[in-house]
Homo-oligomer: A and B are copies of this chain.
Amino acid sequence: MASHPELPERDRRVLGVVVQAYIDQGEPISSLWLAGRGLGVSSATLRTIMARLEEQGFVRQPHTSAGRVPTDLGYRSYVDQLLVARRSARAAPHIEARLRRAGSVDDLLSHASQEVSRASHQVGFAIAPPADSATLEQLDLVALEGGKVLVVVIAAGGHVSHTVLEPAEQFDRDELQRAANYLNSEFKGRTLLDVRQQVVQRLREERTLYDVLMARALRLAYETLAELSGGPAVYVQGAALMIEEFGNDDPDITLETLRTLLQMMEEKARLVRLLDEYLDAGGLTVVIGSEHLAPDLQRFSLILAPYSDGRNRGALGVIGPTRMHYGRALNAVESLSKALARTVSARP
């Protein structure tokens, strides 16, 4: 993690105080102010320390006669300290209770993203785990006009998803009903992953299927599953809260940066792709400003925690300015991800 040169203990403490103070106040931190903070050294010494920190890239001066402001590297060091020092967070029971009340996965994640946003005062998001290992409860086929077919897939644990297909061949209502019956009797209780494999296999093996309807039903199922695995659902919200938190006193929150963030929030597909890259990391992950690959996020920090439903992993986290209150945000993300994991794996 710390590929940059190791800092002497005292320098690190000073850096910590600087970052914390800047997060609180939003203004450059001066040596004089620091001297009054019980660090046991005078402002002059702090000046030499700050100069050293600046040389190493942890802080910078907006202009010659200003105090110091953390760089992204400075935030990084601070966050690394924080991650070691802090005790891991527990979910507030009333929040977890609220999550438990949610039924479908949709509901649950929408609540979770809202709660994590509220607790951190940042933009919150939650991504559903792929439903692959949930077992199929019910599959409905409903005829729409123009030969289109509405497919509703219900899986255990409250996954509900639907899509519309335009199969090459027409189905009438009766055929659809029988196709649905066939698929249900055949696949109910299996995991969706299983179902997909089974469907593919059967289509391949029994190329000359004796029952035409059965073959068509399988093709329909195949298309459906391909469609549904298109992208996991993601819920994002809380931009208003974030603006409120940083008001006008953060030079990084301008209309322009806000625009890029909103754009990202609305282009869910891109967001998911982006977050996916960080999901491999494993535990609680923090990506700060310029550490991002995507240029649109370079003015923001991201905190993300994966959670598991027992088999598959989703993720939950927050996005906010690099000057966010990391302590609070880390707690929010960690506790919510735990609560979410518990809630989601309490399901059958």
Contacts and interface: CB of A to CB of B under 8 A. Distances in A.
Contact of A348 (B100, B137, B145, B152): B145
Nearest to A246: B255
B346 A145 contact: yes
A260 B104 CA distance: 30
A162 B160 contact: yes
A154 B259 CA distance: 37
B144 A103 contact: yes
A255 B266 contact: no
Contacts of A347: 144-145
A157 interface: yes
A237 interface: yes
A244 B258 CA distance: 10
Nearest to A148: B103
B154 A158 contact: no
A262 interface: yes
A150 B160 contact: yes
B158 A144 contact: yes
Interface string A129-144: 0000000011010101
A244 B158 CA distance: 39
B104 A150 contact: yes
A140 B140 CA distance: 9
B157 A103 contact: no
A266 B260 CA distance: 18
A140 to B, nearest CB: 5
Interface of A: 100, 102-104, 106-107, 137-138, 140, 142, 144-146, 148, 150, 152, 154, 156-158, 160, 162-165, 237-240, 243-244, 247-248, 253, 255-256, 258-260, 262-263, 266, 346-348
29 contacts: A100-B146, A102-B164, A103-B148, A103-B163, A103-B165, A104-B163, A106-B162, A107-B164, A137-B142, A138-B142, A138-B152, A140-B152, A140-B154, A142-B154, A144-B347, A144-B348, A150-B158, A150-B160, A152-B160, A158-B164, A160-B162, A237-B266, A238-B266, A239-B239, A240-B263, A243-B255, A247-B255, A253-B255, A255-B255
